[in-house]
Amino acid sequence: MSHFSYRNGVLHAEQVSLDALARQYGSPLYVYSKAALVENFSAYADACRKAGRDSEGALICYSVKSNSNLAVLNLLGQQGSGFDIVSGGELLRVIAAGGDPRKVIFSGVGKGRDEMKLALQHDILCFNVESIPELHRLNEVAGEAGKRARISLRVNPNVDAKTHPYISTGLKENKFGVAYEDALDCYRTAASLPNIEVVGIDCHIGSQLLDDAPLLEALDKVIELIDQLAAENIHVHHLDIGGGIGITYDDEKPVAIGDYLARLFARVDAWRKEKYAGAAIKVMFEPGRSIVGNAGVLVTEVQYLKHSEAKNFAVVDAAMNDLMRPAMYQAWHGVQTVRQEQNGAQVYDVVGPVCESGDWLARERELAIQPGDLLALTSAGAYGMTMASNYNTRGRAAEVLVDGERAHLIRKRENPADLFALESIVS
């Protein structure tokens, strides 16, 4: 169910009008729906429960990079979520939001020593190691800290996720993970290191996947490896299949989360029954977009309408620095007028004030608009605010979380002075 809908001709987030929010907090403004976030998380949690898995049998580690606002992390933590992080900064966010570091897994190809140390101090659940040099560094850092680091190896199953090349990560030519053929050897090395404890195996093949077939193919390859490891007396306690389930931006029809998880658990259970006398293995997920993507919109105000011979432009007050996805991936976001039923539609490119031709948010959309009107860019909850920058010395947008008829400011708008506060003039 969409929690963004028109009521009395005005687009609302739950029961709060986006018009009222823009008046109160200004624009551009990110607006999230709490009910949508909870509903999306529950789709995962309910499917785990349905498969008879408690928190020991399954763990959903929300991918912090997709939307890392403290209020979002706090809310998901309260729902029982763990967290998939890719930096020390994200770990500190999780902790600041009251998340449990023992439910944190740390992915990423370039973990620094300080980040490893910090994660070890907080006793995180697992490092998803992506290379042999990283393994050796982690062994060293853990030794210095007098700890053993729990690890899983991110295996690259060489499965085509059939998504945008920039967000496909499981192919041979990608920088992520260790090659499938090298995985056994890497595990042998890991098992021989004194300050490393092998606990799991993980993969992540890409993002915005509409079909679960590539994920189930990756699962089969991971299962095969686990069997090979077991034959060498290397036992893993969890398998982490990553995130990646897509959302509807336009007319895409992604697989239902419940269906995907049901198929996945059925395979896992059948395999455990056949080969391990039914001994359980914990299954972990790292979803981002499918939890937060459709739980957020970016509200922006039309500044000017510009008509040239070739095109009509709607210049709005949001730009590529606020929502990078169109410029970076030619991504498509819906554009809805906050006030419904307006007359005199024309076809516009919706563009921002940044000095780049690539600064567009939507192209060739039929809109009936006047300067001063508000637009909502839809499905902007994931990889929207987290990828925002200060290019052109533009302060980043404010963020609001709506809960029923209440709205909470969860991030203030940045002032220009905030942007150069860390800089100094050389005297």
Angle made by CA atoms 149, 154, 158, in degrees to the nearest 5: 170
Name the minimum Å distance from CB 320 to ligand LLP.
Answer: 13
Give me the least distance between CB of 100 and ligand LLP, in Å please.
18
The answer to whether residue 234 forms part of the interface with ligand LLP (CB under 6 A) is no
The minimum distance between CB 176 and ligand LLP, in angstroms, equals 7
* Number of shown-chain residues binding ligand LLP (CB under 6 A): 21
Q: Which of 41, 71, 84, 116 binds ligand LLP (CB under 6 A)?
A: 84
Tokens for 357, please give them.
Answer: 């031709």
Of 17, 33, 40, 66, which lies in the binding site for ligand LLP, with binding defined by CB under 6 A? Answer: 66
Shortest CB 417 distance to ligand LLP, Å: 29
Q: Residue 170, interface with ligand LLP (CB under 6 A)? A: no
**Cα(20)–Cα(374) distance, integer angstroms:** 11
For residue 37 the two structure tokens come to 């976030």
Residue selected from 99, 170, 242, 254 as contacting ligand LLP according to rule CB under 6 A: 242
Question: Which of 68, 81, 207, 336 forms a contact with ligand LLP (CB under 6 A)?
Answer: 207
Q: Which of 243, 296, 352, 395 binds ligand LLP (CB under 6 A)?
A: 243
Q: Tell me: does residue 103 bind ligand LLP (CB under 6 A).
A: no
C-beta of 203 vs 398, nearer to ligand LLP: 203
104 within 8 A of 61, measured Cβ to Cβ? yes
- Please identify which of the residues 48, 126, 203, 355 carries the catalytic annotation: 355
Q: Which stretch binds ligand LLP (CB under 6 A): 21-29, 93-101, 200-208, 218-226?
A: 200-208
The residue from 170, 244, 254, 296 that contacts ligand LLP (CB under 6 A) is 244
Q: Considering the rule CB under 6 A, would residue 289 count as an interface residue with ligand LLP?
A: yes
The span from the CA of 118 to the CA of 152, in Å, is 18
Q: Which of 204, 221, 238, 333 binds ligand LLP (CB under 6 A)?
A: 204
Please give, one letter per residue, the 3-state secondary structure of the chain. Answer: CCCEEEECCEEEECCEEHHHHHHHHCCCEEEEEHHHHHHHHHHHHHHHHHCCCCCCCEEEEEEHHHCCCHHHHHHHHHCCCEEEECCHHHHHHHHHCCCCHHHEEECCCCCCHHHHHHHHHCCCCEEEECCHHHHHHHHHHHHHHCCCEEEEEEEECCCCCCCCHHHECCCCCCCCCEEHHHHHHHHHHHHHCCCEEEEEEECCCECCECCCHHHHHHHHHHHHHHHHHHHCCCCCCEEECCCCECCCCCCCCCCCHHHHHHHHHHHHHHHHHHHHCCCCCEEEECCCHHHHHHHEEEEEEEEEEEECCCCEEEEECCCCCCCCHHHHHCCCCCEEECECCCCCCEEEEEECCCCCCCCEEEEEEEECCCCCCEEEECCCCCCCHHHCCCHHHCCCCEEEEEECCEEEEEECCCCHHHHCCCCCCCC
Amino acid in position 207: S
- Asked if 167 is part of the footprint of ligand LLP (rule: CB under 6 A), the reply reads yes
Smallest CA-to-CA distance from 314 within 363, 357, 355 is with: 363
Asked if 221 touches ligand LLP (CB under 6 A), the answer is no
Contact flag: residue 325 with ligand LLP (CB under 6 A): yes
- Which pair of structure tokens corresponds to residue 53? 């898995």
Is residue 34 at the binding interface for ligand LLP, with CB under 6 A as the rule?
no
Strands 178-179 and 10-13: unpaired
Piece of the chain touching ligand LLP by CB under 6 A; list 204-212, 221-229, 230-238, 392-400: 204-212
Minimum CB distance to ligand LLP smaller for 315 or for 380? 380
Least separation in angstroms between CB 407 and ligand LLP: 26
Q: Which is nearer to ligand LLP, 97 or 315 (CB)?
A: 97
- Is position 61 annotated as part of the catalytic site? no
Could you say whether residue 290 binds ligand LLP (CB under 6 A)?
yes
Binding track, positions 337-376, relative to ligand LLP; x by CB under 6 A: ----------------------------------------
Please say which residue, 21 or 335, places its beta carbon nearer to ligand LLP: 335
Name the minimum Å distance from CB 153 to ligand LLP: 13
Quick check: 398 and 26 in contact, CB under 8 A?
yes
Question: Which of residues 180 and 383 has its CB atom nearest to ligand LLP in the complex?
Answer: 383
Binding residues for substrate: 289, 325, 329, 356, 383
Q: Where on the chain is the footprint of ligand LLP (CB under 6 A)?
A: 63, 66, 84, 107, 167, 169, 204, 207-208, 242-244, 286-290, 325, 329, 382-383
Supply the residues annotated as catalytic.
Answer: 355
